[in-house]
Amino acid sequence: VEGSELKKIRPNSRVYQRYYMLDAGLQALCWEPSKKESDKARISLSSIREVRTGRNTETFRTSGVYEQISEDCAFSIIYGDLYENLDLVANSAEVANIWVTGLRYLMQYGKHALDMLSSSQDSLRLGWLEQLFSSAADSDGQGGVEEGIRLQSAIKLIQRVNPGVSGSKVEHRFKELQRVRLMLDNGAGLKDHAETKRSPGRKERVTKQEFIEVFHDFGTRPEIYFLLVQFSSNKEFLDAKDLMRFLEAEQGMTQVSEETSLKLIQSHEPSEEGRQQGYLSLDGFTSYLTSAECRLFDREHDIVCQDMSQPLSHYFINSSHNTYLIEDQFKGPSDISGYIRALKMGCRCVEVDVWDGPDEEPVVCTGHTLSPPLTLRCVLEAIGKFAFVASGYPLIICIENHCSSGQQKKMWEYLTGVLGEKLYTTPPNEGDAYLPSPHALRHKILLKGKKLGPGSDGEDGEVSEEDEGAEMCQRLKTANSGLAALAGSEKDTLQKSVPSTAHCNPPHPPSKRFQLLKEMSDLVTLCHSVSFVDFPTSTKTQKPWELCSFHESLAVRLAGDSPGHFVNHNKHFLSRVYPNPMRIDSSNMNPQDLWKCGCQIVSMNFQTAGLMMDLNTAWFRQNGNCGYVLRPAIMRQEVSYFSADTRDTVPGVSPQLLHVKVISGQNLPRPRGSGAKGDVVDPYVYVEIHGIPADCTERRTRTVMHNGDNPIFDESFEFQINLPELAMVRFVVLDDDFIGDDFIGEGLTSKRFMLM
């Protein structure tokens, strides 16, 4: 069996270059040249105790060449009753991984498994492929099975049963196989040229044998086969009892019966013979493992699965910032589609900034910017239509009111006329210690805004405490004035973050402080906006139905200075955090930084894709994507104390160990914009934990060179999760490149959402 050159490291720091191989029977590891007799220059595979990766033996650690050896290229074979070690270094990480993976599989499964894997003579597969091929030949209608099928038909057939495989790669493999066989048939080109011209269209047709061989190349995943033989009683397929053992041991399923197994076999086994006899072949097993039934995410979380009868302040609430904007914050377009998209994504808190418009018609926009306005009536009609399409739980509309009394009257007419009975206008009871629950408020719309004091006639109330546009405009002017004092690269750097149109020609005159209309005040019941002073003041004076809005910078500072007080504050009151107005490009803050303090409403720019929005989307999937996620018990219970900046175990919470094994990938796409490398992909995987500071960490696999089709990583990681209820796991696949690693894909989920 073909081997490779490896360096052997000895305890005296000497390095020997040797050629290592497996013997023909795959029973022993041999090497040459050697001063030992040939029968002694070998290690029986049955005597191998462990194949260890990296420089992790005493020989490696005490070697004088330790620092010169790459961790990824080193591995050790521990063997014999005395646990001797053979320490080896490969020329590349890929070669080292081939040796490590191959030896481990041989130790675990034996020679029979490799024989089956290298052979395409699997009876269940053969019968199925022959049937597929015959059906395709009949459809072709050009001579039947003997004449073969058209090349393009063969390619589509393989793509149908192996979605994602590149058609050009399949075609190249067919043509390569045909070219080799043509050379063999023609005696390497010595036969008469006329002989090869007998079938001019032959190269555009595929024989049954060619089809089976190419399917075997593209349809066989070694890592899945080795999993099959681990549970198979005959190493060729899984019967109902074998599958039961797999479902219980690997999938963590309970109450599994033979009937359960037989149903899966009927659903996934492609061969008629396998279905009749109750056998799951390699192809059926592959179909099952790559189906939605085996996804990482617990399907119970596809629907609402949490207690929805807790007070509203006990939930994280999916929230949108300046929902009407679909690009940047300063001059980008506004569109109704912003509301429709956010509501369809499960958003339960949208923002409506209302200003005086022409013809006594209130408009929605960010004041003092160049973004065009929308009519308020159109915005409310869209909200009313789509409010409960994705979720039946309460929707909060943050009204930022900047209107004169005349247009406030118009706003009130639209709110009551368009939203009607959906508006929740029942005043809270003075004795209530908590807000109602999401369950009690189903299909209701709550308005968040300013409210007049008791007995007020409107003379002492201002319409709004926020004007993000004015703050953005002021900061832009400050930034622009600072540009004049800079030169060269410093000026260029600052200009990148400040729009060239930052002249702040406002579509509205400078802000006026209008008095709040009583009718508008009466519509605000459970989400009364109040200004934040400090935590002691809130504890003494704030009512459960009053909420504070925090500028991102203030919220982050409070999270750093008073993390415990912030968590306790949010046990009773709703807190809303909105992005820094200088996020002109509509970038997003990290919601985890505020969730760990218990902040319920962290407003995100839904129009901006990226890690932060991905965290938000994945987080709210864990409860049926209803827009509400119950906060950890430690953030709700009165007797609990939790500090958001903890870097150790959390008192009262048992840490969990998360074991992650990255096995393999398949048909990875080429990253966008990576044309310089052609079709070559060098993938590796990052596993990231997002959560409280004590849990944030990341690990990465090695790079699999030149293999985007079926890269095998076969690496395991272990993470201690100190607050599992707030942890998220992210898998990122990147393409290794000298210039900059390119993004291939990702998967992100909350820890609670994972099948364990």
Residue 349, strand partner residues: 319, 396
In the prediction, which pLDDT does 183 show?
77
| Joined tokens for residue 296 | 């990482």
Q: Which own/partner pairs from 308-311 qualify as long-range (CB within 8 Å, at least 24 positions apart)?
A: 308/393, 308/437, 308/438, 308/439, 308/628, 309/437, 309/439, 309/440, 310/437, 310/438, 310/630, 310/636, 311/434, 311/435, 311/436, 311/437, 311/544
- What φ, ψ does residue 749 adopt, rounded to 5°? -155, 160
For the stretch 524-570, pLDDT in tens is 999 999 999 999 999 999 999 999 999 999 999 999 999 999 999 99
Mean pLDDT of 324-349: 95
For the stretch 146-191, pLDDT in tens is 778 899 999 999 998 888 888 888 998 898 888 887 777 666 444 4
- What φ, ψ does residue 699 adopt, rounded to 5°? -135, 155
Asked if pLDDT for residue 732 goes beyond 80, the answer is yes
For the stretch 361-403, pLDDT in tens is 999 998 888 889 999 999 999 999 999 999 999 999 999 999 9
Which residue, 1, 28, 33, is CA-closest to 18? 33
The type of residue at 379 is V
Mean pLDDT of 104-124: 66
In the prediction, which pLDDT does 470 show?
64
Mean pLDDT of 661-665: 89
In the prediction, which pLDDT does 202 show?
52
The more confident residue out of 672 and 438 is 438
Mean pLDDT of 302-306: 92
C-alpha–C-alpha distance, residues 391 and 628, integer Å? 9
* pLDDT category of residue 86 using cuts at 50, 70 and 90: very high
The type of residue at 363 is V
In the prediction, which pLDDT does 661 show?
87
In the prediction, which pLDDT does 203 show?
57
312 and 547 in contact (C-beta within 8 Å)? no
The more confident residue out of 454 and 122 is 454
Residue 374, strand partner residues: 364
Share of the chain above pLDDT 90, in %: 51
Neighbours of 135 (CB within 10 A): 12
For the stretch 601-614, pLDDT in tens is 999 999 999 999 99
Neighbour order of strands in the sheet with 697-700 = 697-700, 683-690, 728-735, 742-750
In the prediction, which pLDDT does 471 show?
67
Residue 397, strand partner residues: 350, 447
In the prediction, which pLDDT does 226 show?
81
273 and 127 in contact (C-beta within 8 Å)? yes
In the prediction, which pLDDT does 478 show?
66
In the prediction, which pLDDT does 284 show?
94
In the prediction, which pLDDT does 251 show?
83
In the prediction, which pLDDT does 473 show?
67
DSSP-derived 3-state class of residue 179 = helix
Asked if pLDDT for residue 198 goes beyond 50, the answer is no
Asked if pLDDT for residue 576 goes beyond 70, the answer is yes
Query: Crossing angle of helices 208-219/167-185, nearest 10°?
Result: 130
The more confident residue out of 714 and 316 is 316
In the prediction, which pLDDT does 441 show?
97
* Residue for token pair 């036969």: 191
H or E element in which residue 216 lies: helix 208-219
pTM: 0.78
Neighbours of 615 (CB within 10 A): 21
In the prediction, which pLDDT does 501 show?
45
Q: Which own/partner pairs from 403-406 qualify as long-range (CB within 8 Å, at least 24 positions apart)?
A: 403/354, 403/355, 403/356, 403/362, 403/463, 403/514, 404/356, 404/512, 404/514, 405/514, 405/515, 405/517, 406/360
In the prediction, which pLDDT does 195 show?
43
Q: Where are the beta strands (DSSP E) in 281-371?
A: 315-320, 349-355, 363-364
260 and 280 in contact (C-beta within 8 Å)? no
| Joined tokens for residue 629 | 């996620």
| Joined tokens for residue 475 | 């900061």
φ/ψ bin of 625: left (φ > 0), alpha (ψ from -120 to 50), beta (otherwise): left
Query: Crossing angle of helices 93-109/111-118, nearest 10°?
Result: 120
Share of the chain above pLDDT 70, in %: 84
Residue 734, strand partner residues: 684, 743
For the stretch 259-296, pLDDT in tens is 999 999 999 999 999 999 999 999 999 999 988 888 87
Which residue, 247, 464, 273, is CA-closest to 356? 464
Which residue, 24, 3, 31, 27, is CA-closest to 87? 31
Distance of CA 491 to the CA centre of its chain: 37
Residues with Cβ within 8 Å of residue 370, at least 6 apart in sequence: 330, 331, 501, 505, 507
Q: What is the mean pLDDT of the chain?
A: 85
Range name among 9-18, 533-542, 618-627, 718-727 with the lowest pLDDT average: 9-18
Residue 747, strand partner residues: 731
In the prediction, which pLDDT does 712 show?
86
Query: Crossing angle of helices 151-161/123-140, nearest 10°?
Result: 130
Asked if pLDDT for residue 696 goes beyond 90, the answer is yes
Asked if pLDDT for residue 197 goes beyond 70, the answer is no
